[in-house]
Each structure stands twice: as C-alpha cells, then as structure tokens.
Amino acid sequence: METVRGLHHVTAISGPAQENVDFYAGVLGMRLVKKSVNQDDPGTYHLFYADAEGHPGTDLTFFPWPQMAPSRAGYGLSTEVSLAVPPGSLVFWSGRLQKFGVRLHGAEVRFGEHALGFDDPHGLRLALVESGSSLGRPFTSWLGSPVPAEHQIRGLEGARMSERNLGLTSQFLENAMGFQHLGTEGEWHRYGAAGGSSGRYVDLREMPSAPRGAWGTGSIHHLAWRVDEEAHQNAVRASVETAGAHPTPVIDRFWFKSVYFKEPGGVLFELATDDPGFAVDEDPKHLGEALVLPPWLEAERAAIEAALPEVVMPGSD
C-alpha cells in the first residue's frame, strides 16, 4: 500500500489578518513564505508560514475570516496542531510567550516528549513539542526571525483529532492511508505514517457523547498530507475512494496539487504534492513580501487587492 509521507501543511481559520501576521511572524518567529488568497474565496487572504525555504511539512496556513463566529467544540474536528522545537527549548518559549501575554495551558509530557500548550489570539489550540526526531528533518532557519535559530520552530510536529467513533477513523487511517497504531496514552491514541516520527503522526480521542463540532475562528480547517508527486497522489486517492471516502478530482493550487476528502469522522483531509513548491513564482530571498496570485486569478488582481485589508510585517521585538 502507498502511504502518505506525513503532514504537508495544516490550514486554520483566523480572525483579522494583521493580528495573525503579528502573532505567527512576530511572536512565533515563523517566516511568511506566501501571501496569497483563498482560491475559492479570493476576497480572503491565504497566509502561509513555514521555515525559511517553505519546506513541505513546515507549513501552517490561515484563512482570515474575522466575520465568522468562534468555532464550536465537539467531535469531527482537528482540535490542535503541534509544532516541533529542538530539545531544551521550552524554557525559552515559555518565557517568550508569557512576555507577549499568550494564554498558556501548561507543560506536560506526551508520549515521552515535553510539550507546552497555548492558544493563539483567535483561540486556535497549539502546542510546542521538544522533538528530538525533528532534528533530522529538512529545515532552514530564517535569518529575519525574532527568535534565535537554535530555538526556531522546525515545522509541524503532529495534530490532534476528536472523533465520535474511534474505530471508524483508525481503521480508515490504517487501511486506506497506511498509518500504524503507535501507542495509547490516557484518552489519546497515536497513529503514524512513514514511521511516525516528527511531522508524521496524528493523535485521536473518542468523544461519543459530545456534540458535533463546527468550524469557526480558531479552528483547524483541514489537515494536508504529503504525497511525492501526482502518481503517488493518484494511488492514495484511489485507496481512500475504495475505503468509502469521496475524494475530489485533482485541483491545481499552483504551488502544489490537491485532493480533498473527509475521513469517516468528518475531519477534512487533503493530499498535497511536494512540488513545485513556493519558489516557483518568487525569488526565494523575497518569499511572502508581495501579494502573489495564481495565473488564473491575475486578471482579477485590481478587484482582489481592493477587497483585501493591508497587512504589514511586525517590527523586531
């Protein structure tokens, strides 16, 4: 069976775009590697934060929809994204987050690794995980980050999902996408792809009596899983369709190609190719500095720019 390679990106819903940029670039020190628009709603930004080169698997992205109500907790949602930091970094990060008034949920140990949970300004649940296996991943530090290179976020570590029926989702992950059960700790069950190291796992919990959750500001919109190229994408697409999902046709997002479907519990998944990447239309030294549109939206640039609020990069702290 062709398995996915791990997380490609995670996309969430935020409030005002400027507040989002201030937090992810200014506080967390991630690089804004692409400033574009939601291709299905071009009057809305799509903001991409990653390492300096935008390696697949380092990318956390946002649709700023400040007019939406806050998300509603419940099953059928991905409820947290965790970000990898080098071992020994949480003392630095705890101090930095407190300096900026970030709401912390406290330190804990998850499957043998130290983690620090907190909320972003719009209610998205995040965690920083001291991940030894992240040190072997492709990563380029960003020289313009306010965070020292030795403490910078190295990419996506994992995600958490709440399900009404654990068995349906776990069987789908194993049988359709090539995941393996890695262990259970309390209410959380960890499933990993391609070995399950940093950036290659998801944690599930069962919530049979909870209400159905709903998207809103502060919620994860979808989890995107890495595939090498189109042939690999087509093979995984066929597998998930055979398992009962209803994948879309391949959609060209210009920087990668995408297929979308919901897993049995209702969480939206994407299969995203590694190539061609974010440097296909920008100088790598100047990623994220200008509004970039895919070619098919260039004719609408004037109207799109008029609809978008101005955003500026935060100054150094």
Dump pLDDT digits (tens) for 263-308.
999 999 999 999 999 999 999 999 999 999 999 999 999 999 999 9
DSSP for 124-149, please give it. Answer: -EEEEEE-GGGGGS-----TT-SS-G
Assign 201 a pLDDT band (cuts: 50, 70, 90): very high
Residues recorded for the chain: 317
Q: Which residues pair with 189 in a beta bridge?
A: 184, 204
Kindly tell me if the per-residue pLDDT of 119 is higher than 80.
Answer: yes
pTM: 0.96
Asked if 63 and 17 count as a contact pair (C-beta separation under 8 A), the reply is: no
pLDDT of residue 199: 98
Helix (H, G, I), strand (E, B) or coil at 175: helix
**Chain-wide mean pLDDT for the chain?**
96
Question: Residue 4: CB partners within 8 Å, gap ≥ 6?
Answer: 177, 178, 193, 194, 225, 226, 227, 236, 271
Which uninterrupted H or E stretch holds 302? helix 301-307
What is the four-CA torsion angle of 315, 20, 114, 132, rounded to 10 degrees? -70
Assign 315 a pLDDT band (cuts: 50, 70, 90): confident
Calculate what percentage of the chain has a pLDDT beyond 90: 98
Kindly tell me if the per-residue pLDDT of 316 is higher than 80.
Answer: no
Distance CA 76, CA 86 (A): 31
Dump pLDDT digits (tens) for 24-59.
999 999 999 999 999 999 999 999 999 999 999 999
Q: Which residues pair with 107 in a beta bridge?
A: 116
Assign 317 a pLDDT band (cuts: 50, 70, 90): low
pLDDT of residue 281: 92
Work out the number of other CB atoms within 10 angstroms of the CB of residue 214.
15
Q: Characterize 285-300 residue by residue with b for buried, 16 or more Cβ atoms within 10 angstroms of its Cβ, and e for exposed.
A: eebbeeebbeeebeee
**Pick from 146, 54, 33, 126: nearest CA to 84:** 126
Distance CA 61, CA 251 (A): 18
Omega cis (within 30) before 138 = no
Assign 148 a pLDDT band (cuts: 50, 70, 90): very high
Dump pLDDT digits (tens) for 203-244.
999 999 999 999 999 999 999 999 999 999 999 999 999 999
Kindly tell me if the per-residue pLDDT of 9 is higher than 90.
Answer: yes
Listed as own residue / partner, the contacts of 258-261 with beta carbons closer than 8 Å and 24 or more positions apart are 258/224, 259/233, 260/222
Domains and CATH numbers, the chain: 7-307 (3.10.180.10)
| Distance set, CA 54 to CA 58, 59, 107, 288, 315 (Å) | 7, 7, 28, 10, 21
Distance CA 119, CA 122 (A): 8
Distance CA 306, CA 223 (A): 30
